[in-house]
Structure 1
């Protein structure tokens, strides 16, 4: 297997793995919030922080794609 294939596999697997971790974190947070009867403002703050982390991860991936696409 050529080195390019290993790099592609590593890149795809890290993004899929981290995406799965974000989903699992969301499910865990949802379960904790549901069991502890958290008020709406608390849920908004917690989901906002989790969503900001996911958006940051997505933005990093898009910036990386554009950066590598320009040859920098």
Structure 2
């Protein structure tokens, strides 16, 4: 039974790994911004860039799921 779902388990594990990586990157950026006394405008720009990277990753996953569901990819 486990062999039947191996690809789904690998996909889920990879997605959880990327979510953890984004979390740790966010924590590291928060620490650097806090210790560097970065102005608020700079902090907003940094968080915007981080959010857009995360949103792009999520959009890629959604697009991939819809294409695979439709039989395109």
Higher relative contact order (CA 8 A, sep 6+): 1
Aligned length: 71
| Structure 1 runs of 4+ with >6 Å offset | none
Q: Which whole-Å CA distance do the structure 2 matches of 1:8 and 1:49 have between them?
A: 30
- The CA RMSD measured in Å over matched residues stands at 0.9
TM-score, with length taken from structure 2: 0.91
Aligned to 2:6: 6
Q: CA deviation at 1:6?
A: 1.3
Aligned to 1:37: 37
Q: CA deviation at 1:71?
A: 1.2
Q: Which whole-Å CA distance do the structure 1 matches of 2:29 and 2:71 have between them?
A: 40
TM-score, with length taken from structure 1: 0.93
Q: Which whole-Å CA distance do the structure 2 matches of 1:14 and 1:56 have between them?
A: 16
User: 2:55 matched to 1:55?
Assistant: yes
Structure 1: gaps (5+ residues): none
Aligned to 2:16: 16
The SS at the match of 2:60 is helix
